[in-house]
A = this chain, B = another copy of it.
């Protein structure tokens, strides 16, 4: 059953409560559609229908695999329908609003969201996340940090007494909080933060200060206008000694009037590349006094006389970072899936240029260059989805252990999540732009949805750990593991390949001198070469450090002078992990049709990676020249092989039109009529004659 106004595919049960769809009143159900289509326009574009008919696998079943299970697909769609059919979440197209109006609309919807989540009793974090991502279609929103950082930090770091004082008011939005960590001059490197909290035993208060311009808190979401409290990370000083970073609950605005409190200079940091719905803010603290009891003291403590008590373990905050970075891997997959959906659907209905003279203009998707732009990215979207699933499952498994005090697997997961966060976000960041530019001129129109996907996604390369720093963290783990292996220690887990004796003697050497037994059509064989490449590049980086040390550089300079090689080693390690996890996933797929198409994607992902990094594989003697030439030929064959399934493969991501929010990526393929309708709603078209004509252009004539 397909909804006639928005092409949403529905099943019977979705038409029931709590979805509250009344299908007998179809025109009312799509509150977001401002244009009512005539019956002919509502028909599917025949090109896209033909594409769907050509698919060789069951799209619905693949969607279940991507969601995790048929039940998860059902529940996700249920939640999506709840939000997308709810008139309270109807919105103006943000593209047509000013920044202040966008913020205003976002606050309205966030307030509604809080009410509805409680009304419907949605409490599972994954379901809340899904609901939120429909209310604010993959856009960050002003309460993100209240819900995602302020409340969880209370739960994790507040004492029972503090929970009593702060949690319920925060739960009921009397306290709206944010998490103020980064400063104008300090981001990823936490030890550099300058904000101070000095304990005054006379009054039993902490005195908070921003001692320099660069110490002004900068970037926290919701800080500018929304929050009345902030958890402030500051350097603790008591009894004349510094004790490093600790967290303090600081009231910043009057809870009734919302006016900033004395000593608080707070505001919005100004327009950004994206994030227009969020009031990322600044906070300057000028001798702000808070009671001793406002330091989060579940672990570290300051006693009334100023005595400092250390926390029992430093690893406690470790887990959150790992969790968030793992989540970002999944966000990469989603952003890439959406971008591929738009670019591939549009390429299937867009006719342009010519292949054979005299023939009608072909679908863009028939051009080999277009396939070569998009299909490797489609393969990457699938790869990253499965990596995201793996990271999530691993985190869930390990966090059980952590709760029982077993931290043994955490360092590996920490290293993996850091590197994969960087690897997937960098790749996705470039890929979104390739998708956008593959749409010709219309990719530049905001109606395509692609500019927004890009600007909302690109900060993932920097926040939650700057990507180069992340790659170097992973490299640190790899080099450490390599040295352990060389010292004869037996490694376990994903770095165990560094143990394998043959890699310890692998040396870059002339291609002709090495035997090559790689089967480029066999994924297991390709996983093996990716692994060997990683092992060799880790070794090269470790040797670079060694050589620098021999030149009497200190350890730190040796590290810095090898950092290009270290990043490259991390990159190769992550690439190996992705190829491996994609290959592993295929083992779980029972359906023949799906197994076949996913195998083609996995092979394309692996071979395209070799094609684009062929120097590494040749240099290490892992492949010879005829094999590399053959890889190029196979890549072309795989493109042709995927061509009939391309649209079905993006359909399987099952991104609802309203979440996709793209005229080019519409499920029905009716691009041009809708592009015209969208443009006519542009605010510049509110009047036929813009006032600037009368103000400037007409008077100009008289002066010339």
Contact = CB atoms under 8 A, between A and B. Distances in A.
- Most central of A96, A274, A676, A691 by chain B CB within 10 Å: A676
A513 interface: yes
A679 B269 contact: yes
A361 B192 contact: yes
B273 A684 contact: no
Contacts of A214: 672
Contact of A430 (B369, B430, B621, B691): B430
A353 interface: yes
Say what secondary structure dominates the interface of chain A.
helix
Copy number in the complex reads 2
Contacts of A584: none
B676 A282 contact: yes
A678 interface: yes
A107 interface: yes
A182 interface: yes
Contact of A353 (B189, B451, B462): B189
A579 to B, nearest CB: 18
Interface stretch (A26-34, A380-388, A463-471, A480-488): A463-471
A361 B189 contact: yes
Contacts of A629: 508, 619
Contacts of A352: 185-189, 192
Q: Which has the most chain B C-beta neighbours within 10 Å: A458, A509, A685?
A: A685
Contacts of A218: 441
Contact of A268 (B104, B557, B616, B684): B684
A6 to B, nearest CB: 20
A703 interface: yes
A681 B512 CA distance: 65
A615 interface: yes
A445 interface: yes
Nearest to A610: B615
Contacts of A433: 429, 433, 458
A267 B557 contact: no
A369 B628 contact: no
Contacts of A319: none
Interface in A146-171: 171
A560 B368 contact: yes
A253 to B, nearest CB: 8
14 contacts: A103-B684, A104-B692, A187-B440, A258-B689, A270-B447, A270-B679, A271-B445, A437-B462, A511-B512, A511-B618, A512-B513, A614-B615, A614-B618, A618-B619
